[in-house]
Amino acid sequence: MFFSENFLQQWNPIIKAGCVIHDVLSDFLVRYLKQVKIILLMLAHLSLIGFLFPQFGRSFGNFAQNLLLVILLVSPLSKLFRMKLLYQLMSLRRELGIWFAYMAIVHSLSYILNPEWFGTFIALFLSQPLSMMPRYLFGVLALILTLPLLITSNTLSLTILKGNWKKLHWLVYPLFAFMLLHIFLPRRLGIGNDIFGFLQASLAFGAYVLLKMLAKNNFLTPLREVNEYVAQRYVEYRSSSV
């Protein structure tokens, strides 16, 4: 055993609280999943009002980044920890994806529609896009990949595209890589800064790939032990609350 029984038992109160919160949220989603989906879609459309507040452009970008992280992490985490709530959250990915795309568009346009910013960072490079500042080139590439995913986030596209829909939505991975490069690459040019920014983006992407691998096969003994311990505590909690 990697962790001693004593060490794991110290966490019982927190694990119990986690079981209670898990079941409250999970029961809520069982009852109100449809309403939650409608509210998420309404919030996504409401957030388009952000067009009127370009001064919050950066915050919209941060919000878009967090939505994409939730969408990308919920699937491997659900496979790794096999929690009902995580599986339920997976059924909200379409609504969260639409919200992500709207926020990314509002964020991007808050800069693109700013004549000074556009003139300095975009207009000069339209004839030679590859000479654009890497940070913004990857932002533009991330936005370009967001559009087909947004346009096909509906049942009609799923029906028409069939198996190709999943292939198309595989684009979310290069989108994620471009977003990380857009976030971590520096505003100030300089080879040192670029390498450091690239390393940060690669580390973040690498961590995601590791999580996907663990979701396929949990080869980390300590994590497996914690997983099994928490699963046993959850079974005990359920049987004691029946």
Q: Footprint of ligand HEM on this chain (CB under 6 A)?
A: 58, 61-62, 64-65, 104, 107-108, 111-112, 122, 135-136, 139-140, 142-143, 146, 179, 182-183, 187
Min dist CB 73 to ligand HEM, Å, is 15
Is the CB of 136 or the CB of 234 nearer to ligand HEM? 136
Is the CB of 41 or the CB of 140 nearer to ligand HEM? 140
Q: What is the DSSP string of 128-196?
A: SGGGS-HHHHHHHHHHHHHHHHHHT-SHHHHHHHTHHHHHHGGGHHHHHHHHHHHHHS-SS--HHHHHH
Is the CB of 176 or the CB of 229 nearer to ligand HEM? 176
Task: Classify residue 51 by its DSSP letter.
Answer: G
Min dist CB 101 to ligand HEM, Å, is 8
* Amino acid code (one letter) for 160: I
Is the CB of 118 or the CB of 237 nearer to ligand HEM? 118
Min dist CB 143 to ligand HEM, Å, is 4
Min dist CB 6 to ligand HEM, Å, is 42
Q: Quick one: tokens of 8?
A: 């794991």
Task: Classify residue 187 by its DSSP letter.
Answer: S
Is the CB of 114 or the CB of 157 nearer to ligand HEM? 114
Min dist CB 108 to ligand HEM, Å, is 3
* Amino acid code (one letter) for 45: H
Is the CB of 81 or the CB of 118 nearer to ligand HEM? 118
Give 3-state DSSP helix, strand, coil % of the chain, rounded to 5: 85, 0, 15
Min dist CB 114 to ligand HEM, Å, is 9
- Compute the chain's Rg from CA coordinates: 21
User: Are 12 and 74 within 8 A, CB to CB?
Assistant: no
User: CA-to-CA distance for 221 and 147, rounded, in angstroms?
Assistant: 41
Torsion sign, CA atoms 181, 186, 188, 194 = negative
Task: Classify residue 171 by its DSSP letter.
Answer: G
